[in-house]
Amino acid sequence: MDISLVTWNINSVRLRMPLVERFVAEFNPDVLCLQEIKCRTGDFPEKPLRKMGYEHLAVNGQAGYHGVAIASRVPFGETFSREFCGKGDARHIAVTLGSGGDAITVHNFYVPAGGDEPDRSRNEKFGHKLDFLTEMRDWFSGSAKEHSDRMVLVGDLNIAPLETDVWSHKQLLKVVSHTPIEVEHLGGVQASHGWHDAVRAHIPPEEQLYTWWSYRAKDWRAANKGRRLDHIWVSPKLGGSCTAVEVVKDARGWEKPSDHAPIMARFTI
């Protein structure tokens, strides 16, 4: 089974559906994993996606903010979502693609951003982020395996773990998304199931790589003060299945863009 998959924090799917349509026209992925869709499940724009051939839709939406969705040309088996930290946030959706021994489970996550101050005693949002990651770690080391141990995990994980995942390691050490405690917590999630970083398997860790550039920069491309907040991981049993990865940086420069660029990956499973 050959599958092309994209993960993209779209920052309002209804507002940016023209970007989704452009991306599909140029790259034609089999599976779209979207984060921060910013709409209720019932308001998700199914019609244009079905028109593009995505007949299989799984949506975990929320009014005004958050929300995740998977749109696929490959039929789903199981579809499920999990609530983390008892907040009622729509930050996870998962589907099973294929059947029998060839089936894989795709987990799509939107990890909390964590606010501005990396101190849980002063910033409740930062504490929520750390607790969310701890719960992810515990789930994947335990009951999540009941669904499958052939898994792909994608999404906006809101952490840039490597020094080369940020424009300045030194200047961002105390900035939320690159602090040592966040990197440690993300490492705990990765170790919980032996996840492989599929992106860095194809783009060497020594190479600077970003997927997010702030709207605050007048010329984001010239400033290039980015961070790699978006990720694609594969479980050990799918370790060699990802055959290609591309960060589609040009999409950050399209009209009315998301502040995140999509990541496209190809799998042979």
pLDDT digits (tens, 9 = 90+) for 174-207: 999 999 999 999 999 999 999 999 999 999 999 9
pLDDT at 269 over 90: no
Nearest 10 degrees: Cα torsion 36, 232, 225, 159: 70
Question: How is 152-220 classified by DSSP, letter by letter?
Answer: EEEEE-----SGGGBS-HHHHTTSTTS-HHHHHHHHHHHHHTT-EEHHHHHS-TTS---SEE-TT-TTH
- Tell me if the domain spanning 2-268 has CATH number 3.60.10.10: yes
Handedness of CA 96, 153, 132, 117 (dihedral sign): negative
Q: Is the pLDDT of residue 164 over 80?
A: yes
Q: Which two tokens mark 41? A: 């499940």
Instruction: Give the DSSP letter of residue 126.
Output: H
pLDDT at 147: 67
SS3 33: strand
Name the nearest CA neighbour of 242 among 179, 191, 198: 198
Confidence of residue 101 (pLDDT cuts 50, 70, 90): confident
Please give the C-alpha separations between residue 269 and each of 122, 150, 224, 238, in angstroms, as whole numbers. 46, 10, 35, 7
pTM, entire model: 0.97
Task: Specify whether the CB–CB gap between 266 and 194 falls below 8 A.
Answer: no
**Strand partners of residue 46:** none
Give the tens place of pLDDT for each residue, 121-147: 999 999 999 999 999 999 999 876 666
Mean pLDDT for 115-126 is 97
Distance CA(163)–CA(207), nearest Å, equals 10
- Given a cut of 70, whether residue 84 has pLDDT beyond it is yes
Query: How many residues can be counted in the chain?
Result: 269
- Rounded CA gap, 100 and 226, in Å? 41
- The amino acid at residue 1 is M
241 — pLDDT class (breaks 50, 70, 90):
very high
Classified as helix, coil or strand, 75 is: coil
pLDDT of residue 64: 83
